[in-house]
Structure 1
Amino acid sequence: MLDARRQLLALLNGDAAYLPLPTGDAEHARRLTEALALGEPIDDDAALVVSTSGTTGTPKGAVHTAASLRASAEATAEVLGGPGSWLLAIPPHHIGGLQVLLRSLAAGYDPVVLDLAAGFDPAALPACIGAMPGDRRYTSLVPTQLRKALDDPRAVAALRELDAILVGGAATPAALLERSIDAGLPIVRTYGMSETAGGCVYDGVPLPGVRVRITDQGENGVGRVVLGGATVARGYRNLPDHPAFAEPGWFRTDDLGAVEADVLRIVGRADEAVTTGGLTIVPQVVEAVIGEMAGVAECAVLGLPDERLGEQVVAVIVVDAGIQPPTAVEVREFVSARLDRYAAPRQVFVADSLPLRGPGKVDRRALRDRLS
């Protein structure tokens, strides 16, 4: 930990530039090394190149300065009530995990690390949380981890002692959020990405210094989310003219959202929309509805090729243990009663789990390949 501490402090101080690589996945590390040109020259003020968890096959690397990383750590501490120690429970080569380490060190605390070598085990949370120093203590989890932790009473009791649990990396289903709040957990929903130094909007409200714009709005106020401010990366490694960073100081996301009463609401992703029969369906909207069905623990909606419709809407669901999964007819009727009937899945598949990419996001590309 001592060597890692020196390197991370050097990163915070702008004395070195790093590319975090995953351990235990040599092929992924090789792809990142090649795509992001490890060892080749980089601008003097660059401190970090962190890979994105995008849907394309070619990795991109967001380039951050020490200033953008410090701005994120300082704004987070301000919003959460002050600096504190952090528990690392997510992979550190993603921006969310790396920021856990940097925030803790910036506050003067060595982070406590939960061993993820054999996967996330909520039974380890009580001991790890008990070892955390300081008056204020925080951690970050992804929704799948939170769901597992809620099934362990001792883990719930330990998490309840924290001052905040940041939940991000993927959308948090309403049922899971409600269950967490009912359990007394101090949940803070976060929205952000590698390009914004991690979470930059907490519970729909931008962190200090973060700006939000909605462009290309439709009649319902929903449009493309554009983020600006001190936490935004300077661009992508070796992609100087990428359109996402066309406007200096701003990052044009692939997310669709709206600002209502100064609160940002994310609807879904523009690049994951399904076009069926000439209509555009946002998968996350349908997923939120299916997630309200009794016994549905997780859900992914995507489009599969269809000769007549172009794409047909399908759903893959994971149900709680011991629960009989709903039939395709029941799912269609449930969705049709709440959304346009064209949004209702034409096929429903039941799975033991959903494939993930990055820090807890559903890998729709892998699902599509599996179903095709």
Structure 2
Amino acid sequence: MSNTLETLPIPASVDVGRLLPVLGEILAGRGPARLPVPSFDEREATRLTSTLGVGEPIDDDVALIVATSGTTGIPKGAMLSASALNTSATATHARLGGTGSWLLTLPPHHIAGLQVLLRSVAAGTDPIVIDVTNGFDPVALIPAIEAMSGPRRYTSLVPTQLLKVLNHPDATTALATLDAVLVGGAATPAALRERAQSAGITLVRTYGMSETCGGCVYDGVPLDEAKVRLDDGRVLLGGPMLASGYRGMPDHPAFAEAGWFRTDDAGSVRDGVLTVLGRLDEAISSGGLTIVPQVVETVLLTHPGVGECAVLGVPDERLGERVVAVVVAVDAAPTLEQLREHVAQQLDSTAAPRELRVVDALPLRGPGKVDRQALRALF
């Protein structure tokens, strides 16, 4: 074993161009294994470096370690080979209709942002970059998209970014000129998808994680060579874009079955199309019944007074857990009674929220996912 893990300092997004030669080496399977760490966040860089074995030997076929904390906050390093990364890029371009130029709007140290850069290298194109160090400004999309070369042009967003774009008419018009807009990182509400499609945006919903080189299921259908199956309602993913395991965790149960990764997501498959229902580890047990928060969120988002929302369970002496809705309102905030009635019309009344909190914004972690731990701190 001659390979040793080294850090790959990731600069703020405007400076990522200097990473492209190194990413080319990674795709070619040359050089040491690399661990991307944010150079602009010393605390996070130190945390990853100290827990994922930088400077220590690693299997020769590992090209990239991508950190993923899931919902526990404990960093795990998905070990990705050059072959897996190339397979992912090739399958993505095949599904989208060919190679093209990419626009980076995501933090480049997470898998979704890294993949924009890796796909650019694989396609032989130079990415256009928007600086998101201090947040995402949809106005910045307009000149960035104008600067993109053809013949095909792509970008990747998270749902909160898409919502901001749709609230800005000129940014919406610009985004609609792209050949595909990948949306992932968190569940995309149906109402948001419909609004984007009505505006002429070619939206592609992606599902995947660091352990699968990012998205490997597009609009519910696996990419070429990717595989999906269910085990008692749990989603399992397989295929050549799969990580070989976690760094320093050879017996982790998520990789217990060779060739498959056991996600923490519940799902269903109908006519070959996967629907992700929500995370199993976020399920709420209330009054002896199991409630999937994302199912309730989907219903709440159809209420005209709800712009964004998150549902979580908090301890309750009588029920075990009670359902709480945290809502970003549209204009006048809805009442708890209105939301309970709205949910009860579509789901079992047990799923209706018993408490309502109205906030200005939902706390986020990573690439646009709701930070439910931060929400629970409110209680």
Q: How far does residue 105 in structure 1 lie from its aligned partner after superposition?
A: 1.0
If the length of structure 1 is used for normalisation, what is the TM-score?
A: 0.96
Alignment of 1:1-372 (within 5 A): 3-16=18-31, 17-216=33-232, 223-320=233-330, 323-369=331-377, 371-372=378-379
Q: How far does residue 116 in structure 1 lie from its aligned partner after superposition?
A: 1.0
Distance 1:341 1:295 in 2: 20
Distance 1:272 1:159 in 2: 33
- Other-structure match for 1:220: none
The answer on whether the counterparts of 1:35 and 1:58 sit within 8 Å (CA) in structure 2 is: no
Q: Counterpart of 1:131 in structure 2: which amino acid?
A: A
Please, what is the CA RMSD of the aligned residues?
1.0
Q: Counterpart of 1:251 in structure 2: which amino acid?
A: F
SS at match of 1:305: strand
Deviates more, 1:18-27 or 1:299-308: 18-27
SS at match of 1:31: helix
Distance 1:46 1:92 in 2: 20
The answer on whether the counterparts of 1:254 and 1:270 sit within 8 Å (CA) in structure 2 is: yes
Distance 2:43 2:68 in 1: 16
Deviates more, 1:48-57 or 1:68-77: 48-57
Distance 1:112 1:23 in 2: 20
Q: Identity of paired residues, percent?
A: 63
SS at match of 1:238: coil
Q: How far does residue 130 in structure 1 lie from its aligned partner after superposition?
A: 1.2
Provide, for residues 73-99 of structure 1, a one-character-per-residue CA deviation record: whole Å limited to 9, x for no partner.
000000000011100100111111100
SS at match of 2:205: strand
Distance 1:242 1:164 in 2: 36
Q: Structure 2: which 5+ runs fail to align?
A: 1-15
SS at match of 2:36: coil
Aligned residues: 363
Q: How far does residue 24 in structure 1 lie from its aligned partner after superposition?
A: 3.0
Distance 2:114 2:221 in 1: 22
Q: How far does residue 2 in structure 1 lie from its aligned partner after superposition?
A: 5.5
SS at match of 1:115: coil
Distance 1:263 1:292 in 2: 23
SS at match of 1:46: coil
Distance 1:2 1:111 in 2: 8
Q: Counterpart of 1:106 in structure 2: which amino acid?
A: A
Q: How far does residue 160 in structure 1 lie from its aligned partner after superposition?
A: 1.0
Q: Structure 1: which 5+ runs fail to align?
A: 217-222
Distance 2:365 2:38 in 1: 13
